[in-house]
Amino acid sequence: MSAKTEKLLSLLDGQPVIPVLKIERAADAVPLARALARGGLKVIEITLRTKEALEAIRRAGAEVEEAVVGAGTILNAKQFDEAASAGSRFIVSPGLTREVLSAAGGSEVPLLPGAITPGEIMTAAEAGLDFLKFFPAEQAGGAAFLKSLASPFAGIRFCPTGGVSLNNAGDYLSLPNVICVGGSWVAPDDLVKAGRWDEIEVLARAASRIGR
C-alpha cells in the first residue's frame, strides 16, 4: 500500500459512503457539511461542476472543523492545483491522465483517480496507485464486474461511484475489494435548495450504517 493510499484511508476512517455533492450556492456548503457530519458522514466530495464549487470547498473546510473536504470531477492539473489551494484534503478524478498524475505527484494531497478497464487499472498500478474510483459503476457492470476484478487485481481496492444508491450500496460494500462507495442520494438537490438540513442528516445517518 502506498503512503498516499494510507493517508486517504486514514481520512476515510472506515466511512462507508462518501457524499458526492454538487453545490450551486457556496452559502449552502457549511450547513450541508455540518448536517452530513452530524449524520456520521464527515468525509465529503464537492465536485467542480458549478461556479461556486471552489468557494464551497474553502468555506466547508475552514468553518466545519469536523469535516474532511475533498474535491471531485478534477479533469486537469489546473483544477487539481486550484482544488488543493482551496483546502481540499483529497482529490477525486473520473479518470487518469499523465497530466493529472503529474500534478498529484508533486502534491501532498492524495489522489483517488477513476479506472474501469483492466488496462486503466494496470496503468494506475504502475503509477503506484492501488485505491481507485470505479466510475460510472452501475453503467460499467456494477458489483458483478467489480467482483470479477478481485482475483486478477488482488492488491487494488475501489470506491464505486455512479448509480450507487441506498438500495445497492450494500452489494458493493460486501465485496472484498471495495473500501467505500460514493453517492449523491444523501444530499438530493431539492433538499439542499430548500435548506432541509435535518432531513439530510437523517439520510446521512442511514448511509453511515450500511454494511455495519
For the stretch 40-50, pLDDT in tens is 999 999 999 99
d(CA 148, CA 199): 37
Instruction: Find out whether 149 and 156 touch, Cβ atoms under 8 Å.
Output: yes
Percent with pLDDT over 90 in the chain:
97
11-15, 34-38, 55-59: the lowest-pLDDT one:
11-15
Phi-psi region of 211 (alpha: psi -120 to 50; beta: other; left: phi over 0): left
Sign of the alpha-carbon torsion through 49, 55, 59, 62: positive
**What is the per-residue pLDDT for 4?**
83
Q: Which fold has domain 3-208?
A: TIM Barrel (3.20.20)
Mean pLDDT of 65-72: 98
Domain segments of the chain: what residues? 3-208
Mean pLDDT of 166-194: 97
Q: Which one is catalytic: 4, 42, 133, 201?
A: 133
Residue-averaged pLDDT of the chain:
96
- With b for 16 or more beta-carbon neighbours within 10 A and e for fewer, the 109-118 pattern comes to bbbbbbbbee
**What is the per-residue pLDDT for 211?**
76
- pLDDT at 76 exceeding the cut of 90: yes
Mean pLDDT of 57-72: 98
Q: Which one is catalytic: 45, 51, 99, 201?
A: 45
Task: Let me know if 45 is a catalytic residue.
Answer: yes
**What is the per-residue pLDDT for 212?**
66
